[in-house]
Amino acid sequence: MDFSFVHTNINVLDLEKTLRFYRDALGLKEMRRKEAADGSFTLVFLGNETNSYQIELTWLKDREKPYDLGDNETHLAFRTNDFEAARTLHETMGCISHENKIFGIYFIEDPDGYQIEILPVRK
């Protein structure tokens, strides 16, 4: 029996703002979208050509307040082949939340407060 990792779901308050963030910060694009028949929610799957793994954004129509992530220590992680250019981009965007220079990594924060680790390619 084999399993494949398919996607991770996160809930978002402002779908358009979040779509822009993931496009601009990580180069992700909308791969597919599913709208509830009654308009109560929208699912948008983001990905790229690098691999088949996707992020599923869930937007709930009636949600008006930000999600409470509490002490959530989970995060997404992306590896980049141009760490310095990525860091410069994210610094310009103002989305770097913290940096660990000892490990040579940093984290960015999306519009809903989810943390995303940025890693360089290691040789």
Average pLDDT value for the chain = 94
Share of the chain above pLDDT 70, in %: 100
DSSP secondary structure string for all residues of 70-119 = TT----EEEEES-HHHHHHHHHHHT-EEEEETTTTEEEEE-TT--EEEEE
What kind of fold does domain 7-62+75-120 have according to CATH?
Answer: 2,3-Dihydroxybiphenyl 1,2-Dioxygenase; domain 1 (3.10.180)
Residue 19 has pLDDT above 90, yes or no: yes
Domain chopping of the chain, boundaries: 7-62+75-120
Residue 95 has pLDDT above 80, yes or no: yes
3-class DSSP state of 50: coil
Which of the following is catalytic: 16, 35, 73, 117? 117
pLDDT score at 70: 83
- Average pLDDT for residues 49-70, to the nearest whole number? 93
Task: Give the pair of three-digit tokens for residue 53.
Answer: 């793994």
For residue 34, what are the CA distances in angstroms to 18, 41, 62?
16, 9, 17
117 is catalytic: yes
pLDDT score at 122: 84
**Using an 8 Å Cβ cutoff, are 36 and 42 in contact?**
yes
How confident is the model over 103-118, as pLDDT tens digits? 999 999 999 999 999 9
pLDDT score at 3: 81
